[in-house]
Amino acid sequence: MSDNTKATNAMWGGRFAAGPDAIMEAINASIGFDQRLAQQDIEGSRAHAAMLASAGIITDSDAGAIREGLLTVLSEIEGGTFTFSTALEDIHMNVEARLSEIIGEPAGRLHTARSRNDQVALDFRMWVRGQTDAVCDGLIALNKALLIQAEAGADWVMPGFTHLQVAQPVTWGHHMMAYVEMFGRDLSRFQNARARMNECPLGAAALAGTSFPIDRHMTAKALGFDAPAANSLDAVADRDFALEFLAAASICAMHLSRFAEELVIWSSAQFRFVALSDRFSTGSSIMPQKKNPDAAELIRAKIGRIMGAMVGLFTVMKGLPLTYSKDMQEDKEQVFDAADNLMLAIAAMTGMVSDMSANKETLEAAASTGFSTATDLADWLVRALNMPFREAHHVTGALVALAESQNCDLPDLTLTDMQFVHEAITGDVFEVLGVHNSVASRVSYGGTAPSEVKKQIARWKEKLK
């Protein structure tokens, strides 16, 4: 029998006379990916040992040896000198085996009053909680970069689109603030998910709790949780925290993808609304003139794997009876991958937003095309001539058709031209046909008027302090 098989059997106890064969070992082991939980595993074990000593379940000297030994194990892992064993299956057994080599018999007392079921639930929850905090920090940084762009162009006029057709003039600042609102909702989703996930499963043991007089409130507090989980069955069976993280990540990745799509369009030769920096663009291997928005395109693609991770974990969990099943070992890799890619996408978008420069003149010229002030004209007919909106809509449509026939825009029509369509129109109509007048008039709460945009910028600056 190999040393690795002996180690496996020792961990499992006397129930198994022989170790698993190579195929079973390969499918059963998770150390290839759950070694990412090493810090959380050791932190949880140190808190558990301190609690066991406080409750009189193990001696202070054994607890001290365990806690110091675990620091040595962590140092080896962080220093790259730790040897991970597939035969030991997972991070928990790898750490415990090495701890036994370092401190001897006291290591065997660490697993008192706990199970790998509540241990992995704790480690994974702590890891997801830490990633949630990192995502929140990233979203705050992204929104601060967007606020800088919005403030710089609070009164720059650009076209607003529906169906990717010019609809009405808006301001650059207003468009940037739309994404501030989106990423702000993402931030709140992650914050809300964090509050719900912040219950400690440690002490639920295998599924039913333990007969030892443990203090779950002590370990929960030591590990930064608001409270211990209230039901031992749910504590080991729950992966809602990971599902919520993936759901929030998928919505956030979708928002990032929408913005990335706009940056791809805006940076094209046909639009030239923005210039992306060389840091977030690449060239072509054959076409020397090309400057490709590869970072934006890759961000746009991230939604596929992040949403795929969410669907994958939902599929794993949907049919599992309480409490723990080995299926749940498949919960981590997709969450790790989604978290890595979301953080990368947020960081790349923050860099692009910080570096990009908007072309004020091109934006304004584009805002003046496509009869973008037609709605302003219709509104003027309602206000100035007391015309029912449906009639005003019809008159405006006729004026647009007239301008199209003359190959000009609405402001280029003469008053005579307009009066040919409706004799009551006066020269005052030209005051509303300029794009700057149009955006300045949109002073309703949340509107595109520069005055309103500046109010929203101030509100978000205060929120992000």
Q: Which of 188, 284, 325, 451 is catalytic?
A: 284
Helices 172-197, 240-266: crossing angle, 10 deg rounding: 170
Cα separation, 170 vs 160, in Å, equals 5
Give the chain's length.
465
CA dihedral 215, 216, 219, 224 (to 10 degrees): -140
Nearest to 180 by CA among 450, 446, 449, 451: 446
Q: Is residue 285 flagged as an active site residue?
A: no
CB 357 within 8 A of CB 274: yes
Rounded to the nearest 5 degrees, what angle is found at the Cα of 432, between the Cα atoms of 384 and 394?
60
Active site (annotated) includes residue 436 = no
Determine which one of 2, 163, 211, 444 is catalytic.
Answer: 163
Indicate the pairing of strand 274-275 with strand 357-358: antiparallel
Locate tokens 């290839």: which residue?
32
Rounded Cα distance between 164 and 158, Å, is 13
Residues 242/313, Cβ–Cβ less than 8 Å: yes
Taking the C-alpha atoms of residue 105 and residue 96, their distance in angstroms, rounded to an integer, is 11
Active-site residues: which are they? 163, 284
